[in-house]
Amino acid sequence: MNKRIVFLLWVLVILTAFYFYFFQNDLVRLGVSWLMSRPLSWRYAVFLILGCLRGFTLIPVTYIIFLGLIFLPALPAYILIMVGVMVSSACIYYFAEYLGLANYFERRYSRQIAQLRLVLKKNELPIVISWSFFPFTPTDLMCYMCGSLRVNIRKFLLGVFIGESISCALYVFVGKDVILFVIYKLLGV
């Protein structure tokens, strides 16, 4: 398939996801309530699929985690989100390479890319772990950059796993308690 068509389809998926997120909240709520009435195995499958595809839409994993905490037990949600993060990260890594984003970035930002490449070569694992751990750094962007710069895939995935497993554990296991506290204590439900 032509890389230009793939790129345009990817942009269309991102724009569609943002459209539903910002302008079709009722449709999203309807989908969540429909899913709540389905067996747990369906919810697991949908959550896993969303986790695996999420990276292509550039939607932060935090939103998927909080969505999962609404309709899944914490431990299975954590395991499924980590599988989704790893699959999504690997897909984004190879997708960036397939689209030839390295060529684009090197043409447009040659000096910055050279500096980034030098820094990454010296400290691949610590940088990927740190970037994956901190909540305000978009992990998907780092996946695209590592893929386009051809960072060692094993180090990359290990770093993503370590960083994301810590931050996702905090979101899932502490976040679930905070959500329940807000619902039961503050809202009186």
Query: What is the three-class DSSP state of 137?
Result: coil
CB atoms within 10 A of CB 160: 27
Residue 102 is predicted with a pLDDT of 67
Ranges 41-55, 102-116, 156-170: which has the least confidence: 102-116
Percent of the chain at pLDDT exceeding 70: 93
Here the tokens at position 144 are 């695209």
187 band by pLDDT with thresholds 50, 70 and 90: low
- Give the dihedral sign, CA 67/82/158/90: negative
pLDDT of residue 69: 83
* Residue pLDDT, tens place only, 99-118: 776 677 777 777 877 787 78
Taking phi over 0 as left and psi of -120 to 50 as alpha, with beta for the rest, 188 belongs to: left
> What average pLDDT does the segment 2-16 reach?
77
- For residue 140, the tally of other CB atoms under 10 A from its CB is 19
pLDDT for 114 equals 79
One-letter amino acid identity for 140? Answer: D
Q: Which amino acid is at 179?
A: I
This prediction has a pTM of 0.76
